[in-house]
Chain A
Amino acid sequence: MDYKLVPSVCSYCGTGCGVLFKVMNGRLVGTLPLKTHPVNEGKLCIKGWNLHEYVNHPLRLKAPLIKINGRFRKVSWDQALEFTAQRFQEIRDRYGPESLGVLVSAKITNEENYLAQKFARVVLGTNNIDHCARL
């Protein structure tokens, strides 16, 4: 039996609370607050306390889905990206870049947010960028 406690950061919101995952035989079985973390100082909200649950949840999406003939079907990442890029291009060519917008997230890093706005401005050519913290 392999049992260890692994420090991590909560992925639910942008606060960045420290958590400690209980890992038994390679499977997440529980979450504790990381007591010495400067952000949350050993406290968590209800979402943080149950962070391990969605990782092993049977309904968790593990692959991209594309709606084909009204039904979602599992596809590869290459197929999904190809499809999305093509649709973006079609929409931009037909309605102009202002018809597109990008919503970024508190759950991703500053750097990823930076890349997302760069993608919006340079690749898509739109200034329509917003963040979930403002929704």
Chain B
Amino acid sequence: MRETVRAWLESGKVSMFLGYRLLEGHPVPHLFRRDRLEELEAFVVSPTRYPLEKLAMEILAAEPEGRLGLLARECTGRALRVLSVLQQVDLERIELLPVACCPSPLHPNVTCSYVEPSETRVGKEKWGIDGGVDLEAMERMDGEERFERWMYEFEKCLKCYGCRDICPVCVCKDCSLHNTDLIEGGWLPVEVPLFHLVRAVHMAGRCIDCGLCEEACPVDIPLRLLYRKVTAIVKDLFDYEPGISTGTLPLGLMGDEEIRRLTAHQVA
């Protein structure tokens, strides 16, 4: 894979490549360039994941002439498609270098941090929801138990906004989590389940199920499961799958005004 990146940079297929390098023992995202090919010695593919799509967005905006190679898991491809629908990236300027990730008998050597089994804790089993639980198992519970368990999870929230900050498809300039008509600012604990449901609603038609939010959550709220439910509803109602469907979002949740704000700098 290292040699492919070298060949891409040398041939000018791409002017820069965003992958990972080993730095002080940590795999961290790194922008490789043609004039610093020796840095490829530290090139690494590891289970560690960062929102490379979001970094790619910043890099392409700062270097309007550049073409970017990108190490891509399946979720990276889906995230880029959503960002393209939101007019945040130009897919023509990105070349993907695929890396195996989703667990299946066909891919025994998966490289995704999410595949590592999550730790089940006594409290989670008794009162909460374990990260490994699937949607079907959840729906078999009666409504009251499900609500109790979700509330147990939501009440732990520290309001760090990590789920939004790490999210590869959260790009709004005007975030509804800061809208004081919806959520009171400057207070802890957060109002539950409102805070999490506001974010869940805004993930409709956008969440690409990468699981980065859940990995970033300091109190292990099973966010991926929550957004899976939202995605399932969008699929049922509109037959729309974020990151797979190519058209625009079926719901105008972002609003035309937000799209205008987001694309304002591109026009100028």
Given the complex of chains A and B, what is the CA–CA distance between A44 and B218 in angstroms? Answer: 7
Q: Does B158 lie at the interface of the complex (its beta carbon under 8 Å from any beta carbon of A)? A: yes
CA distance A49 to B58 in the complex (A): 17
The main secondary structure of chain A at its interface with chain B is mixed
Query: Which of A5, A24, A40 counts the most chain B CB atoms within 10 A?
Result: A5
| In the complex with contacts A20-B28, A46-B161, A35-B113 CB distance below 8 A | yes
Give the interface segment out of B19-27, B87-95, B140-148: B19-27
Interface assignment of B63: CB less than 8 Å from any CB of chain A = yes
CB <8 Å contact, B26 and A34 = yes
- Which residues 19-50 in A have Cβ within 8 Å of B in the complex? 20, 22, 24, 29, 32-37, 40, 42-46, 48-49
> Which residues from A are CB-within-8-Å of B165?
49
Whether the Cβ atoms of B49 and A35 lie closer than 8 Å is yes
A5 adjacent to B28 (CB under 8 Å):
yes
C-alpha spacing A46/B186, complex, angstroms? 12
In the assembled complex, B55 has its CB within 8 A of some CB on chain A: yes
Q: Is B53 close to A, CB under 8 A?
A: no
Residues of chain A within 8 A of B62, CB atoms compared: 1, 3, 24
Q: Is B245 an interface residue (CB 8 A)?
A: no
Contacting pair A33 B162 (CB below 8 A): yes
Q: Are A45 and B160 in contact (CB under 8 A)?
A: yes
- Minimal beta-carbon separation of B121 from chain A (angstroms): 15
For window 38-70 of B, CB contacts with A under 8 Å fall at: 48-51, 55, 58-59, 62-63, 66
B159 within 8 Å of A (CB atoms): yes
Residues on A with beta carbons closer than 8 Å to the beta carbon of B161 = 46, 49
How many residues in A have their beta carbons less than 8 Å from beta carbons of B?
24
* Bound form: Cα–Cα A100–B164 in Å: 47
Residue with the highest number of chain A CB atoms closer than 10 Å, among B23, B51, B63, B218? B218
Give the docked Cα–Cα distance between A46 and B63 (Å): 30
Q: Which of chain A's residues has its CB closest to B64's CB? A: A1
Residue A16 at the chain B interface, CB threshold 8 Å: no
* CA of A5 to CA of B20, assembled, Å: 10
> Do A46 and B48 touch across chains, with their CB atoms under 8 A apart?
no
Looking at the assembled complex, report how far the CB atom of B253 sits from the nearest CB atom of chain A, in whole angstroms.
24
Which residues of chain B come closer than 8 Å to A4, judged between CB atoms? 30-31
Q: How far is the CB of A38 from chain B (nearest CB, A)?
A: 10
- The reply to whether A24 and B58 contact each other, CB–CB distance below 8 Å, is yes
Q: Closest Cβ of chain B: how far from A53's Cβ, in Å? A: 12
The smallest beta-carbon distance between A89 and chain B, in angstroms, is 44
Given known A22-B58, A35-B48, A42-B216, contact A7–B63 (CB-CB < 8 A): no
| B interface with A by C-beta (< 8 Å) | 23-31, 48-51, 55, 58-59, 62-63, 66, 113, 158-162, 165-166, 215-218
Other A-B pairs beyond A44-B162, A44-B216, 7, CB < 8 Å: A5-B55, A32-B50, A35-B49, A36-B27, A43-B218, A45-B158, A45-B160
Q: Interface residues, chain A, CB within 8 Å of chain B?
A: 1, 3-5, 7, 18, 20, 22, 24, 29, 32-37, 40, 42-46, 48-49
